[in-house]
């Protein structure tokens, strides 16, 4: 962040965090600009993929972005796997929510359908 050791020790934790956020915002903006530039002018080595800010910088924001992206990929892969099992007729019905496993009579009794 460009602070001397004496200056950094003079700061309260709140002041230090505020300076850290200002510093990270600059890095995040730079990472976004790099990602936009690379997506506009270069082809990603992986077919269909694109560059992300966390490919260029590692800050709290980009780690959060990476974690969210990883979670979404895992959810998408799980859904694709369940869909593939359903198509093959091997789907485990215990994975369905309870309302989806009810018979038509049970749904009528609970007022879900008429």
Predicted confidence (pLDDT) per residue in 7-60, tens digit: 878 888 898 888 888 888 888 888 889 999 998 988 887 787 888 887 888 777
Q: Is the pTM of this model over 0.85?
A: no
Q: Is the pLDDT at 113 greater than 80, yes or no? A: no
Q: Could you give the count of Cα atoms lying within 13 Å of 63 in the half-sphere of its Cβ?
A: 4
CA nearest neighbour of 70 among 88, 46, 89, 54: 54
Give the pLDDT band (50/70/90) at residue 1: low
DSSP 89: T
What would the mean pLDDT of 48-75 be, rounded to a whole number?
82
């Amino acid at each position: 962040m460009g602070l001397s050791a004496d200056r950094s020790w003079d700061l309260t934790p709140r002041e230090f965090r505020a300076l850290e956020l200002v510093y990270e915002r600059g890095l995040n903006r730079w990472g976004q600009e790099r990602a936009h530039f690379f997506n506009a002018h270069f082809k990603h080595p992986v077919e269909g993929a694109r560059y992300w800010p966390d490919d260029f910088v590692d800050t709290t924001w980009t780690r959060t972005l990476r974690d969210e992206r990883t979670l979404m990929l895992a959810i998408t892969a799980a859904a694709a796997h369940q869909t593939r099992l359903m198509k093959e007729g091997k789907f485990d019905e215990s994975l369905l929510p309870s309302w989806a496993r009810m018979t038509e009579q049970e749904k009528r009794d609970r007022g879900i359908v008429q």
